[in-house]
Each structure stands twice: as structure tokens, then as C-alpha cells.
Amino acid sequence: MSNQQQIKSALFALCEAYVQQRIINARQAMEDAQEAANSESKSSAGDKYETGRAMAQLERDRNAQLLAEAQKLGQELARLNIEKKYDTAQSGSMVITNRGSFFISMSAGKLTVDGRDYFAISAASPIAGALAGRKAGDETTFNKITYQVLEVY
């Protein structure tokens, strides 16, 4: 396995961990909200009880949405072919530019492997759109900044 492939595999593993942490956090928050709703006791002010339960239900629903989004990220990640050596920037590829290194996978922000920073970006992101289809030696402009593509793998 090449060093490039090892880096891509490490970034993929970091993305998987990111998704798993988001799933765990959303599930825990849902459980906490449900517990809060269940423990809300009837008081002499009945409206307070109903308001508390409604607020807890809204919080649970919001966290259910976050859970669904995290699971969708996991599905997107599972569809990537990180074993393939890419010639052009696309989903699953690593793009090294003069202004940073990008792993076109999912939006997970800055990830560090072997002391070097990489940005995990979604294929739907504007920067990925600017890089799409580019190969080593190409240039593209994004936000009035020119990016020189040094390497794609």
C-alpha cells in the first residue's frame, strides 16, 4: 500500500469516527430529552407540565433530525471507493493543491494525519465543485483565489 493510500485510509477512518461520534451524541441527546419528557411531573399549574413535555418533545425531534443527518453522512461515506487511484478530482479522491489538501468525501472539517492537515469536504461543497474534474497541473479559481492542483490520488 502506497503512502498516499495509507493517508487516504487514515482520513477515511477519521471520517468514520466523526460520523460514529455524531450518531452517539444524537442518540444520547434523544434519550436525555425523552427522559426529561417522561420525568416531567404534573404540577398544580397544568400548563407548565404540558409546556415542559412539549419542549422536551421538540428537543427529541431536533436530535432525531441530527441522528438522521449523521446516518446519511455514514451512508455517503460507505459509497466511496478509497482504494481507487484517481486521476481527476471527484468523490473519494485526495486533491493536493498549493493552498491545502482536500479529501473529497464528506464535510468533516480539518483532519490531521502524520502532522499534516487535510480538509474533508463534501462533493457538494463549492470548493469541491471548483476542483471537480481537475487533474495534476490544472488550476482553478475559487473565491477569487487561484488553486494549483499539484497531485490527485
Q: What count of residues does the chain have?
A: 153
Query: 142: exposed, middle or buried (C-beta count within 10 Å: 0-12, 13-18, 19+)?
Result: middle
The pLDDT value given to residue 61: 92
Write down the mean pLDDT value for the chain.
91
Q: What is the pTM of this model?
A: 0.86
The pLDDT value given to residue 56: 82
CA-based radius of gyration for the chain: 21
The pLDDT value given to residue 38: 79
The percent of residues above 90 in pLDDT, for the chain, comes to 80
List, for residues 63-97, the tens digit of each pLDDT value.
999 999 999 999 989 999 999 999 999 999 999 99
Angle between helices 3-39 and 46-78 (to 10 degrees): 160
The pLDDT value given to residue 44: 46
Residue whose cell numbers read 490531521: 112
Q: Is residue 152 predicted with pLDDT exceeding 90?
A: yes
The pLDDT value given to residue 46: 57
The pLDDT value given to residue 110: 98
Q: Is residue 42 predicted with pLDDT exceeding 80?
A: no
